[in-house]
Structure 1
Amino acid sequence: MTMMARNFPKITEQGLDELRARKGIEIEDTLEPWCHEATRDNIRHYAHGIGDDNPLWCDPDYAEKSSLGGIVALPSFLFSTSRIISGYVGGLSGVHAMWAGADWTWHRWVRRNEEIATEAWLADLIEHKTQFAGRAFQQVYHVNFFGKDGDLVAEADSWCFRTDRDIAREEGTKYTALKGKPRKVYTADELEEFYKLYAEEEIRGADKRYFEDVAVGDKLPTMPKGPMTVTGFIAFAQGWGGLYIRANKLNWKQFSRHKGLGIPNRFGIPDCPERVHWEHDMAAMVGAPGVYDYGPERCSWLTHHMTNWMGDAGFLVNAKSKIRRHNPEGDLLFINGVVKEKRVEGTRHLVTIEQEARNQDGELSVLGSAVIDLPSRR
């Protein structure tokens, strides 16, 4: 049964003015984070949710013998410690929000069993003209992450685009070429060729990658992600937590508190907008080409690409991601990177890498960059 199109709440000037009034004010009332602490299981569940089996975060015996002396959290794990960084936006009730990018800076590793505290505020609201939905607003939040001693572990800006669902569905031109186009069905040989990239994936691990051994222009190994499936999207939500996935009484409390959040399903029951990631009709209602991956998930794939390459002795200082299109069910993704710069800053030996990921048709999915501190032979 196909869900009927309906009219959703619109972006209004009053709503925008109310939202602008929140800029710079610390957010005190938000959803409880999925993870308060970086426990062994929380770290592993998040890592497995993005397809990362690096023993530095997944194997206590290996991690204990490593240069770090024990399990640490993979950099992107911090997504699970803040709803705000993950796309829990305020204002504009009932208007769709699509997570679209982040700019992370890490100051140190998060250790096993460390509790994380956060503070956050609305940093900016920027108007854009888009192919996806015409007028859209980039809603930018800043989040600080603090460790057990109150020190700043990491900080980040992340942003969602607020779009009118009806305009995106009826007038958006971003996915015009895909409308009516049959989804590709892969042959066993095509999938086997793709899976070779998984078989060849290298986790650098204890084998140090030295600053002196890296040259500008070096290409990183291609990292595959996919094929995109609802199962994969749910695997990420298991580790990350989801923004609005709640059951029974907790679901009722959520929708009672936020009247514009619940969208009736085909049974007339209010259900979360997050089901664009597993329900095709809901995805089509907001203008997407089909059910698609999570934004923080894709950002985490880019940092996975970096941690595989840098090894245990490297440290990911900064990572940026800018999402350019949806990754609908059935897509394959190929993440590539190239070394663009080397520099020494004090005791740090920094390498800058630019990344991009394209799907099986060569369409740009996400742009990324990273700065990594590598060990030096000197």
Structure 2
Amino acid sequence: MVTDTAAAGQARDGDSAPAGAKAPRAAQEITDEGIARLRSRIGIPEPNPVPPHYRRPGPDAFRQVAMSYGDDNPLWCDEEYAAGTRWNGLIAPPPMVGGDTIVGEDEVTAVPADKRELMRGDPLRGVHAFYSASSREWWAPLRPDGRVRRRNALVGVHDKQSEFAGRAVHEWTGQVFADGAGRPLAGQYKLMIRTERSKARERGKYAGIKLSPYTDEQIDEIEASYAAEAPRGATPRYWEDVAVGDELGSLVKGPLTVTDMVCWHVGMGMGIYGVSALRLAARNRTRIPRFFHRDELNVPDVMQRVHWDPEFARRSGNPTTFDYGRMRETWLIHLCTDWMGDDAWLWKLRCEFRAFNYVGDTQWIRGTVARHYLAEGDRPAVDVELTATNQRGQVTTPGSATILLPSRERGPVLLPDPPGGASTLAETLDAVIDRFARP
């Protein structure tokens, strides 16, 4: 069970982090009726709230996304280099093809008329929601300068009991993506844990966390780790050369700065709340007024400010500003792609957000090969266990991944099929829903 520190402070879409925000006044209880109404929404497509950050992502977009999480692999951004790889040209870095608002024009632009009343409001209104985990898979590369389509829906609702929070609901939303020709590219599934436990009782929970200055020697160690990092690149990592227990090496990410958050937003955009400047911000305040809080000058500003304003963060019960859980997800992805080389394929990745990553924290990203096998009968694959661990020794983001590797005996990587062999986004989402319906 993922605890409520798992992206505590993350908004329900997984993009922002209004920790400490007051829930709408409602009976903060999980009821059978609420769960039934929520389940009745499974599979009903609905549009994303705001347009994508990149409508026709090209080489510049690929580069900006990769730079936002510190990835310098030329496969994503150097056209001459990429032309000499097995892909015969640039492909997008894996984090680009995912949920929120990076890419993807809505295939369904409005909720069907006969479903609008059903989709109105939140059946569990007032019940706290924590963005707790993400599961992703990739089936084909995104090439530059094409349009990307997306389809969004609730895909799973599971009624849970836990010692920590009593009754809880695991609410999974799914987004699937296709290229301009309709070929399914990738899917991302996000877990919101809904609990009755009041966040207000937790306000002092993080007060004991100490943010200590680094010594010069510690900074030198971090700098040396950065200097030793590099993508494997054009050197194939053959399946036959990998064994259970092999380490993926490590990456260092940090010490986290507000500048890192700025660079993140440059590449990834501002998320589904449509955070904007000046006149556009004023319009946004009329659209979603509860997303804005007043600062010490009585000026309304977005709840995302907890990521760069220490006072806003302290109001949420935290000692200082903190990252987005999705940042650490991209760091796990980065470790995988650095290790596997350009001839391999990152197929699946799952991670949980178990603790905050504060400004000033350093995360060490590590992995170990846990399984070596043929996936789906004929695809040389490895499963790897992943962790992000801070300088206090706390695992903030455990995860796992499946990587397809080239083989000396079996040849180049064979790309995986979408779920159920689907060829459209509607079929893909139906297959995902069927998967989440299984016990």
TM range (shorter): 0.7 to 0.9
Match of 1:221 in 2: 249
1:197 aligns with 2:220: no
Q: Which of residues 289, 296, 313 is equivalent to 1:259?
A: 289
Query: Aligned letter for 2:184?
Result: L
Match of 1:374 in 2: 405
Shift of 1:257: 1.7
Query: Aligned letter for 2:176?
Result: N
Match of 2:268 in 1: 240
| Structure ranking higher on relative contact order (CA contacts 8 Å, 6+ apart) | 2
Match of 2:188 in 1: 156
1:8 aligns with 2:22: yes
Match of 1:59 in 2: 78
Q: Percent identity?
A: 34
Q: Secondary structure at the match of 1:150?
A: coil
Q: Is the 8 A contact 2:329 2:351 kept in 1?
A: yes
Match of 2:258 in 1: 230
Query: Aligned letter for 1:177?
Result: G
CA–CA separation in structure 2 for the residues paired with 1:235 and 1:19 = 36
Where structure 2 has 5 or more consecutive residues not aligned to the other structure, the ranges are 1-18, 107-120, 410-439
1:312 aligns with 2:348: no
Match of 2:369 in 1: 339
Match of 1:177 in 2: 208
Within-5 A mapping of 1:95-134 = 98-125=130-157
Shift of 1:68: 1.1
Change (3 A) 1:47 1:62: same
Deviations 1:48-71 (CA, angstroms, capped at 9, x unpaired): 000001000021221112221111
Shift of 1:173: 6.1
Q: Give the TM-score, by structure 2 length.
A: 0.75
Within-5 A mapping of 1:25-44 = 25-28=44-47, 30-44=49-63
CA–CA separation in structure 2 for the residues paired with 1:275 and 1:299 = 21
Match of 1:274 in 2: 304
Change (3 A) 1:267 1:130: farther
Change (3 A) 1:130 1:359: farther
Shift of 1:47: 0.5
1:73 aligns with 2:73: no
CA–CA separation in structure 1 for the residues paired with 2:266 and 2:141 = 23
Of 321-330 and 193-202, more deviation after overlay is shown by: 193-202
Change (3 A) 1:138 1:288: farther
Change (3 A) 1:128 1:78: farther
Deviations 1:257-313 (CA, angstroms, capped at 9, x unpaired): 223222222222322111111111222222334211112111111001000011010
Deviations 1:61-102 (CA, angstroms, capped at 9, x unpaired): 211122211111011112322699xxxxx8478987653321
Q: Secondary structure at the match of 1:255?
A: helix
Shift of 1:199: 0.8
Shift of 1:206: 0.5
Q: Which of residues 47, 51, 57 is equivalent to 2:66?
A: 47
Of 156-165 and 44-53, more deviation after overlay is shown by: 156-165
CA–CA separation in structure 1 for the residues paired with 2:196 and 2:291 = 14
CA–CA separation in structure 2 for the residues paired with 1:83 and 1:161 = 27
Q: Which of residues 319, 324, 329 is equivalent to 2:359?
A: 329
Q: Is the 8 A contact 1:103 1:319 kept in 2?
A: yes
Shift of 1:15: 9.3
Q: CA RMSD in A?
A: 2.9
CA–CA separation in structure 2 for the residues paired with 1:13 and 1:363 = 35
Change (3 A) 1:211 1:174: farther
Count of equivalent residues? 364
Deviations 1:150-179 (CA, angstroms, capped at 9, x unpaired): 1111112113456899x535535642532x
Q: Secondary structure at the match of 2:249?
A: coil
Match of 2:388 in 1: 357
CA–CA separation in structure 2 for the residues paired with 1:324 and 1:242 = 23
CA–CA separation in structure 2 for the residues paired with 1:106 and 1:200 = 29
Where structure 1 has 5 or more consecutive residues not aligned to the other structure, the ranges are 85-89
Q: Give the TM-score, by structure 1 length.
A: 0.87
Q: Secondary structure at the match of 2:407?
A: coil
Match of 1:295 in 2: 325
Shift of 1:139: 3.8
Q: Secondary structure at the match of 2:380?
A: strand
Query: Aligned letter for 2:347?
Result: V
CA–CA separation in structure 2 for the residues paired with 1:47 and 1:200 = 19
Q: Is the 8 A contact 2:28 2:125 kept in 1?
A: no
